[in-house]
Structure 1
C-alpha cells in the first residue's frame, strides 16, 4: 500500500473518528493545526493500530507531525512486518 493510499485512509479516520474538518485534512497539515491534543494523539495511535494492523507507540504521533508523516510511519511498520 502506498503512502498516498495510507494518507487517504488516515484522513478518513481523522474525519470520521475525531471530527476533524474534511476540508482541512491534507497530507501536509500537522496534528497541531488540526488541534489534536496529546490525548487525541494517544487515541489516534490506538485507532491506527486497529485500522492498519501495525504497532504504533502512543508517543510516536506528535503535534508537530504531519498527516503524511504519520502515514509514512504506518507504511514503514507495515513494510517491516
Structure 2
C-alpha cells in the first residue's frame, strides 16, 4: 500500500468525518471506523474533490477497507 496516499486518505477521514487519525490503521475497515451510509457518501465526495478522480460510494463498498480505498485511488491514477 502507498503510505503517502494512505496518510492523505487518513487525513481526509479525520478532517471531514471527525474520526481521530490515531484510530485509523492501514488495515481498518469501514465497520471498525463506524462509517454509516451517509459518511461513506461524504467520504466519496471528499476523495473526488481531493484527488480529482471519480469515486462512488458503491465502489468504496466493494472493498470497504483502507487498503481497498488506496487501491481504488491508485487504479484511478490519484497522486498526492
**Same fold by TM (over 0.5)?**
yes
How many positions carry a matched residue from both structures?
Answer: 78
Distance 2:21 2:62 in 1: 18
Structure 1: runs of 5 or more not aligned: none
Q: Kindly provide the CA deviation profile for residues 38-66 of structure 1, in whole angstroms up to 9, marking residues without a partner as x.
A: 11101111110010111112211129621
Partner residue in 2 for 1:61: 60
CA deviation profile, 1:1-23 (whole Å, cap 9, x unmatched): x7211110000011111111222
When the two structures are superposed, what TM-score results if normalisation uses the length of structure 1?
0.85
Q: Does 1:35 align with 2:27?
A: no
1:28 aligned counterpart, secondary structure: coil
Shift >2 Å, 4+ stretches: none
Q: Residue in 2 aligned with 1:12? A: 11
**SS where residue 23 of structure 1 aligns?**
helix
Name 2:74's counterpart in structure 1.
75
Whole-angstrom CA distance in 2 between matches of 1:63 and 1:27 = 17
Q: Distance in 2 between matches of 1:13 and 1:20?
A: 9
Per the TM alignment, residue 76 of structure 1 is displaced from its structure 2 partner at its CA by: 0.6
| Alignment RMSD (CA, Å) | 1.8
Could you tell me which runs of 5 or more consecutive residues in structure 2 were left unpaired when the two chains were aligned. none
Higher helix share: 2
